[in-house]
Chains A and B, each alone.
Chain A
Amino acid sequence: MMETLLPYMSWLPAELQYLVVTLIKIVAIVIPLFIIVAYYTYAERKVIGYMQIRVGPNRVGPKGLFQPFADMFKLMFKEIVVPTNANIYLFIIAPVLAFAPAMAAWAVIPFNDTLVFSDINAGLLYILAMTSLGVYGVIIAGWASNSKYALLGAMRSAAQIVAYEIAMGFALVGVLMASGSLNLGDIVDAQRGDWSNWFFIPLLPLFLVYFIAGVAETNRAPFDVAEGESEIVAGFHVEYSGMTFAVFFLAEYANMILISMLTALMFLGGWLSPWPELLPDSIFWLFFKTGIFMLLFLWFRATFPRYRYDQIMRLGWKVLLPVTIVWLVVEGVMVYYQVGPWAA
């Protein structure tokens, strides 16, 4: 696809051509992502509305379809208020630090066999590293705001993310053991065959732990104590307004889509078809599976009350972490005796 563009750029030096192609690829990932984020917020309000027997937004455009744009323009033209005695540099940098890793992680996501921006060997590690960086935005926002509520939110978030990252990392070790590769494309390839070859069957506990930890990492309900509007107003972003607030929002939703897509790639066979004889593999399978998890995020928010803070820590350290460690041992035994998917 990109090769068709090259003749038009032949007047550029070779290195600049490469740069232009790379930039076009980045735009081709980021722009659809922004549009999906915008409509994900709309879907959230609609879905939760229907779950609570309301109609949700229905004023702007037909069925409220232009609501995301109305929200976007509102946020763009609102004033950015900087609190007294806040550290202005860190206050402005914080949303950027939340947003940049959320975007950077998309670099290694494969959309099908060939459609991947950067096909690196250590893709899984890179994803873990990038998702673990997002917490800095929250911590710095909480500290730089010079507000007690924001600081409390930041503290909660720091402890929570460190706790759940470990369980998440261990769940990924299971995927690594099953596929024998850190490359996301190879991980999907290792699940080839029909739906019974997908990793969610032999790795069921890790699959559940990964998704739960993913919900906790993105600070979403029922683990959204970093915001906790009933206790600490809005937590780390209580002092943010206008575009700075919007950037936090964008990062959070991009991370939710990322976690959904990673779960689909690593446990549900990504773009592979569940019945390869009947239906061909295609990128639409990936979007469909991602959509299921994106819906689950919303469903959780409509269904579960917020966890109490000490119980979140208990769940992370005393339930999820032991489950992953035990299952890694079980998986090791299965690999050794060549049970299930490891049968030679």
Chain B
Amino acid sequence: MWIETVVFYFFATLTVLSAISVITMRNPVHAALFLVLTFFSTAFLWMLLEAEFLAITLVLVYVGAVMVLFLFVVMMLDINIAVLREGFIKFLPVGIALALVMFGLIYYALSGDQFSLQAMADPPPKAADYSNTKALGAVLYTDYVFAFEVAAVILLVAIIAAIALTMRKRPETKYQNPSDQIRVKKQDRLRVIKMEAEKE
């Protein structure tokens, strides 16, 4: 299918270019938007792999929620790029070393006998009514339920920790209590007085 090949190379190029733009853009908002584009084109690549559940979840979770909050924060803060770039030369050797290690790992994994093209032949395409949402759910809640629950608990711990770190009682902060405001009745606030009409 030449259409699939064209679509693959189009989105693969888009992914790589937008990923490069994420780290080269000077404006953090532009960088975050390019990260959105990277996620989005990656989702298309996953869709080509017939992993529609993962592809849609990537868009739903990362593009639809995580990156929205990211942009929210980035737009609020006035990030000074000059300060961010100060340590560039200092940390360059570490960065290059890390990049080499990453490249080596990926090269090793893809060329070894585990995941090479010879070891992993193309799986036969599934029928159109095959639901990989159902298949994924069945595996996730049976064979891997322990790992799944551990991951869930770790996430919960992270949420509680983040809230605990940011929840500080500050006496000077004024805030409203909406449930008190809603509970207020007319009798608490309003007094109707009968009085004579005043005449000149």
A161 CB within 8 Å of chain B: yes
Instruction: Let me know if B68 and A125 touch, CB within 8 A.
Output: no
Complex interface: stretch among B51-59, B84-92, B146-154, B158-166? B51-59
Kindly list chain A residues whose C-beta atoms are within 8 Å of the C-beta of B63. 129, 132-133
Of the candidates B3, B33, B36, B133, the one whose C-beta lies within 8 Å of that of A122 is B133
CB-based nearest B residue for A182? B133
Q: Mark A305-318, 1 if CB is under 8 A from B, else 0.
A: 00000110010000
Q: Mark B115-152, 1 if CB is under 8 A from A, else 0.
A: 00000000000000101010000000000000000000
B12 CB within 8 Å of chain A: no
A159 CB within 8 Å of chain B: yes
Which B residues from 25 to 39 make CB contacts under 8 A with A?
Answer: 29, 33, 36
Instruction: Let me know if A158 and B60 touch, CB within 8 A.
Output: no
Q: Give the A interface residue count (CB, 8 A).
A: 28
Whole-angstrom CA separation of A126 from B58 in the bound complex: 11
Instruction: Let me know if B71 and A139 touch, CB within 8 A.
Output: yes
Of the candidates B3, B59, B72, the one whose C-beta lies within 8 Å of that of A133 is B59
Kindly list chain A residues whose C-beta atoms are within 8 Å of the C-beta of B3. 15
Instruction: Let me know if A310 and B176 touch, CB within 8 A.
Output: yes
Kindly list chain A residues whose C-beta atoms are within 8 Å of the C-beta of B29. 143
Q: Assess A158 versus B69: contact at CB under 8 Å? Given A151-B75, A165-B64.
A: yes
Instruction: Let me know if B33 and A129 touch, CB within 8 A.
Output: no
Whole-angstrom CA separation of A155 from B68 in the bound complex: 10
B110 CB within 8 Å of chain A: no
Which A residues from 125 to 142 make CB contacts under 8 A with B?
Answer: 125-126, 128-129, 132-133, 135-136, 139-140
Instruction: Let me know if A155 and B75 touch, CB within 8 A.
Output: yes
Which A residues from 147 to 167 make CB contacts under 8 A with B?
Answer: 151, 154-155, 158-159, 161-162, 165
Kindly list chain B residues whose C-beta atoms are within 8 Å of the C-beta of A120. 52
Kindly list chain B residues whose C-beta atoms are within 8 Å of the C-beta of A121. 52, 129, 131, 133
Whole-angstrom CA separation of A240 from B29 in the bound complex: 20
Whole-angstrom CA separation of A121 from B59 in the bound complex: 17
Whole-angstrom CA separation of A203 from B131 in the bound complex: 25
CB-based nearest B residue for A181? B131
Whole-angstrom CA separation of A151 from B53 in the bound complex: 34
B93 CB within 8 Å of chain A: no
Which B residues from 54 to 82 make CB contacts under 8 A with A?
Answer: 56-57, 59-60, 63-65, 68-69, 71-72, 75-76
Q: Assess A132 versus B60: contact at CB under 8 Å? Given A143-B75, A162-B69.
A: yes
Which A residues from 276 to 326 make CB contacts under 8 A with B?
Answer: 310-311, 314
Kindly list chain A residues whose C-beta atoms are within 8 Å of the C-beta of B171. none
Whole-angstrom CA separation of A138 from B165 in the bound complex: 31
Kindly list chain B residues whose C-beta atoms are within 8 Å of the C-beta of A314. 178
Q: Assess A125 versus B53: contact at CB under 8 Å? Given A140-B33, A310-B176.
A: yes
Shortest distance in angstroms between B13's beta carbon and chain A's nearest beta carbon?
20
Whole-angstrom CA separation of A158 from B72 in the bound complex: 7
Instruction: Let me know if B59 and A165 touch, CB within 8 A.
Output: no
Q: Which of A129, A158, A159, A182 has the most CB of B within 10 A?
A: A129
Which A residues from 216 to 257 make CB contacts under 8 A with B?
Answer: none
Instruction: Let me know if B133 and A125 touch, CB within 8 A.
Output: yes
Whole-angstrom CA separation of A201 from B107 in the bound complex: 56
Whole-angstrom CA separation of A129 from B59 in the bound complex: 6
Instruction: Let me know if B176 and A129 touch, CB within 8 A.
Output: no
CB-based nearest B residue for A183? B131
The 8 A-B pairs of least Cβ separation, nearest first, read: A132-B64, A129-B60, A129-B59, A125-B56, A121-B131, A158-B72, A129-B56, A314-B178
Further 16 A-B residue pairs, CB within 8 A, beyond A129-B56, A136-B36 = A121-B129, A122-B56, A122-B133, A128-B60, A129-B59, A132-B63, A133-B59, A135-B68, A139-B68, A139-B71, A139-B75, A143-B75, A155-B75, A162-B68, A162-B69, A182-B133
Q: 14 A-B pairs, CB-CB below 8 angstroms?
A: A121-B133, A122-B53, A122-B133, A125-B60, A126-B56, A128-B64, A132-B64, A133-B63, A133-B64, A135-B68, A151-B75, A154-B75, A162-B68, A165-B65
